[in-house]
């Protein structure tokens, strides 16, 4: 119904307007407990399916491996409604220590021929303090694990390492008690100089400072770029291991434009920004595999990139992902996608004749 009816109408609108309309439609579910209960009951998996899909990681219980990636709900405005749709966890944000506006428009583009998106939003958010306060108020009624992504405030110079570390620490201090886990975003292509923080020396300074501040890093993850070469990824993963982070989110959006069906002139007219969706799928699977092989069985690996159907999620699980996230697939497949995908994943687990999906997580 969504793909044939509602999506074509939404796609007549600019992406920003369609996103605002979707948030307006979620408002009654967010604000009315009875509405959330009805939606949750209609979409909830059967008890046996839930048992098959339950994942335990970071001392948390996830009712499904399918989560929402950061970027969709930057300001924690609809977490209860999104949870009711059947997600097993949410990653909200990215938030920064200082409130900031989006980059100049246009900054969000659809590529329907590739079922992809390009964005150069640049961490627009109301600031870590305000978002954390909103999340604290909502958290008891969300019912699933919630993570917050933290990033660098735009005015902080990327070449001033001590200032960058202090900025991230400030964000962490503001949100640490509001979320179940924290994702350190050093890989967005839309904040100037940010990706340099993935280099070994810079990453070690940042991640070790956050681990020290947390008194341990059992629920800290770092999000990596899909554009790292093998040596760069290995260097970053070695830092994750050295400082004791729980694991990684693989991957962020890509600056690459290889193998697209969209007309090259259209791609050129869009310009810079991070590409998400199916063109990223193969790279995400490979990065998950490499992360799992490097970090071992105890690490947490969240796979992100091109997930539209249950088989895409399962490919990431078999490559080594404990958990999987979608964003672009949610935009293209619609509000019932997480519940429908969860049901199909449960059937896939049943066909494999294992107890839970955790038994299918690959070794990389």
- Catalytic residue IDs: 188
Cα Rg, the chain, nearest whole Å? 19
Q: Are 148 and 174 spatial neighbours (Cβ–Cβ below 8 Å)?
A: no
Tell me how far apart the alpha carbons of residues 179 and 287 are, in angstroms, rounded to a whole number: 26
Give the strand order in the sheet containing 274-276: 108-111, 116-119, 274-276
Q: Are 162 and 107 spatial neighbours (Cβ–Cβ below 8 Å)?
A: no
How many CA atoms lie within 13 Å of 42's alpha carbon, on the beta-carbon side? 10
Q: Is the peptide bond before 106 cis (omega within 30 degrees of 0)?
A: yes
The helix/strand count (H/E) of the chain reads as 14, 13
Tell me how far apart the alpha carbons of residues 340 and 352 are, in angstroms, rounded to a whole number: 19
User: 99 — alpha (psi -120 to 50), left (phi > 0) or beta?
Assistant: beta
Q: Are 178 and 129 spatial neighbours (Cβ–Cβ below 8 Å)?
A: no
Beta carbons within 10 angstroms of residue 334's beta carbon? 19
Give one DSSP letter per residue of 63-114, joined into a string: SSSEEEPTTSSTTSSSHHHHHHTT-SEEEEEEE-SS-BPPPSSP-EEEEGGG
């Amino acid at each position: 119904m969504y793909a044939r009816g509602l999506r074509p109408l939404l796609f007549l609108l600019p992406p920003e307007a369609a996103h605002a309309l979707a948030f307006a439609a979620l408002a009654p579910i967010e604000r009315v407990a009875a509405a959330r209960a009805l939606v949750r009951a209609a979409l909830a998996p059967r008890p046996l399916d839930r048992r098959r899909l339950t994942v335990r990681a970071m001392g948390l219980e996830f009712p499904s491996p399918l989560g929402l990636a950061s970027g969709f709900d930057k300001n924690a405005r609809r977490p209860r409604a999104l949870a009711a749709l059947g997600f097993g966890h949410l990653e909200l944000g990215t938030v920064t220590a200082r409130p900031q506006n989006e980059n100049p428009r246009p900054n969000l583009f659809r590529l329907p021929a590739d079922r992809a998106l390009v964005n150069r939003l640049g961490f627009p958010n109301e600031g870590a303090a305000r978002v954390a306060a909103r999340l604290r108020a909502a958290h008891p009624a969300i019912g699933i694990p919630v993570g917050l992504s933290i990033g660098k405030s735009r005015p902080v110079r990327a070449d001033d390492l001590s200032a960058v570390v202090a900025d991230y620490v400030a964000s962490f201090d503001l949100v640490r008690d509001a979320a179940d886990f924290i994702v350190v975003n050093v890989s967005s292509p839309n904040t100037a100089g940010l990706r340099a923080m993935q280099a070994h020396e810079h990453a070690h300074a940042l991640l070790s400072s956050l681990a020290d501040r947390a008194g341990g890093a059992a629920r800290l993850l770092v999000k990596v770029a899909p554009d790292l070469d093998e040596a760069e990824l290995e260097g970053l993963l070695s830092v994750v291991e050295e400082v004791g982070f729980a694991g990684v989110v693989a991957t962020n959006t890509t600056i690459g434009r290889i193998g697209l069906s969209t007309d090259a002139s259209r791609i050129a007219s869009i310009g810079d920004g991070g590409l998400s969706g199916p063109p990223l799928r193969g790279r995400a699977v490979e990065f998950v595999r490499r992360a799992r092989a490097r970090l071992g069985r105890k690490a947490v690996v969240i796979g992100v990139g091109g997930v539209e159907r249950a088989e895409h999620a399962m490919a990431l699980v078999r490559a080594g992902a404990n958990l999987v996230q979608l964003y672009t697939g949610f935009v293209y497949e619609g509000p019932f996608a997480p519940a429908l995908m969860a049901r199909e994943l449960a059937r896939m687990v049943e066909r494999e004749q294992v107890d839970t999906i955790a038994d299918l997580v690959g070794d990389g």
